[in-house]
């Protein structure tokens, strides 16, 4: 795909829209959580106020260069996934750099944020940051194994690493979705999905009651605002990634409303998967979660690779 300058603008618009959508999602999920606990809950627009308030903090301190780069890495992780994905398949505005990167690149972007946080949190020098980063890295690494196996299986199935071709192959009928053509890979990937959504049972990284807040313990003011912005992008980017690979993508319909409804429904349901599991299960310790990922999800992932090898 040739490079066009307009794509930079498109990517910026995609990220802006995603931030707002992520904030809306945060508000809705906060409300649902509250209603489950018989509370009134936050206002739907509360996440917007929180983020603006954080951006206009007056005083701030820093601990060095890596402290600055931590949030930038994190933001690159979230934004990178987004701009290399066809967020809405067939709409040039929402698939700005799609042809330029493949699955491997997106996988790399998924990990880079955690690495950036390790460097930034490490420079902040708080012991809780170091503990949390160690936990986070080991957990994410363990969760990546089944995900990578699932993606190997997809690569064998579709014979390509080009995301666009994978979405293309899933169009036409619901039965063309990877969910139905390769259920084992979907199962492995959906289990891996839980590992990086920062929700129970895999939220020992943040563990507010034990190691206050975790990696960003020392982050404040605009640094934290940057992290919070990424916190809204990253889950949406991840859900879009999963929807694109396993649930038929989000095709562009004639009606804008229909497109948005499909986008909302698919991402919301995939996101809710982690929420449902989160409210049902208590927190794992790190070694428990690593053992979990290296047991059933790993076996399912390996089975998916073997099955794909036999079938295709």
Applying CB under 8 A, which residues contact another protein? 30, 34, 37-43, 46, 49-50, 52-54, 56-61, 208, 212-213, 216-221, 224
Which CB atom, from 30 or from 90, has the smaller least distance to another protein?
30
CA distances from 98 to 13, 75, 86, 90, 91 (A): 15, 19, 6, 11, 11
Q: In whole angstroms, how close is the CB of 57 to another protein at the nearest point?
A: 5
Per DSSP, what are the bridge partners of residue 251?
89
Question: What is the Cα–Cα distance from 26 to 268, expressed in whole angstroms?
Answer: 11
Shorter beta-carbon distance to another protein: residue 50 or 138: 50
CA distances from 199 to 6, 39, 125, 204, 255 (A): 37, 20, 25, 9, 35
Angstrom CA distances, 248 to 99, 102, 193, 255, 275, stand at 18, 17, 17, 18, 22
Q: In terms of CB distance, is 198 or 307 closer to another protein? A: 198
| 2, containing H or E segment | none
In the complex, the smallest distance separating the C-beta of residue 131 from another protein, rounded to whole angstroms, is 14
Report, in Å, the least distance between residue 19 CB and another protein. Answer: 16
Both tokens of 262, joined, read 């499909």
CB of 287 vs another protein, minimal distance in Å? 24
- For another protein, the closer of residues 4 and 35 by Cβ is 35
Which 8-state DSSP code applies to residue 5? T
| C-beta of 9 vs 36, nearer to another protein | 36
Least Å from the CB of residue 127 to another protein: 13
Find, among 99, 102, 204, 83, the residue nearest to 143 by Cα: 204
At closest approach, how far in Å is the CB of 209 from another protein?
Answer: 8
Record the tokens describing residue 140, joined without a space.
């994410």
Query: Among 254, 269, 257, which residue's Cα sits nearest to residue 90?
Result: 254
Give min distance, CB of 212 to another protein, in A.
3
Q: Is the Cβ of residue 76 or residue 220 nearer to another protein in the bound state?
A: 220
* CA–CA dist 43, 39 (Å, integer): 12
Cα-only R_g, the chain: 19
Q: CB-wise, 28 or 302, nearer to another protein?
A: 28
Q: Which residues contact 236 (CB under 8 A, 6 or more apart)?
A: 18, 21, 22, 25, 82, 267
Q: Among residues 122 and 183, whose Cβ is nearest to another protein?
A: 122
> Smallest distance, Å, CB 29 to another protein?
13
């Amino acid at each position: 795909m040739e490079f066009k300058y307009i794509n930079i603008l498109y990517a910026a618009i995609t990220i802006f829209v995603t931030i707002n959508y992520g904030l809306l999602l945060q508000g809705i999920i906060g409300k649902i959580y509250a209603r489950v606990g018989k509370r009134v809950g936050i206002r739907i627009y509360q996440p917007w106020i929180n983020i603006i308030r954080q951006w206009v903090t007056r005083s701030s301190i820093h601990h060095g260069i890596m402290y600055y780069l931590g949030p930038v890495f994190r933001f690159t992780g979230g934004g990178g996934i987004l701009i290399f994905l066809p967020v809405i398949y067939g709409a040039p505005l929402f698939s700005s750099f799609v042809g330029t990167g493949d699955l491997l690149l997106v996988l790399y972007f998924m990990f880079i944020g955690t690495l950036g946080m390790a460097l930034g949190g490490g420079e902040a020098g708080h012991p809780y940051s170091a503990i949390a980063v160690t936990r986070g890295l080991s957990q994410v690494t363990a969760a990546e194994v089944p995900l990578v196996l699932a993606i190997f299986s997809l690569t064998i199935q579709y014979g390509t690493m080009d995301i666009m071709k994978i979405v293309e192959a899933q169009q036409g009928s619901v039965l063309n979705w990877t969910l139905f053509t390769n259920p084992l890979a979907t199962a492995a990937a959906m289990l891996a999905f839980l590992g990086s959504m920062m929700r129970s049972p895999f939220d020992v990284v943040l563990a507010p009651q034990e190691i206050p807040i975790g990696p960003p313990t020392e982050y404040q003011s605009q640094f934290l605002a940057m992290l919070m912005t990424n916190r809204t992008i990253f889950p949406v980017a991840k859900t879009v990634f999963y929807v694109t690979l396993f649930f038929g993508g989000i095709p562009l319909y004639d009606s804008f409303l229909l497109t948005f409804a499909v986008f909302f429904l698919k991402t919301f349901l995939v996101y809710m998967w982690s929420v449902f599991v989160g409210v049902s299960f208590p927190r794992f310790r790190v070694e428990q979660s690593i053992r979990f990922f290296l047991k059933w999800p790993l076996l399912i992932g390996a089975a998916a690779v073997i099955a794909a090898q036999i079938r295709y």
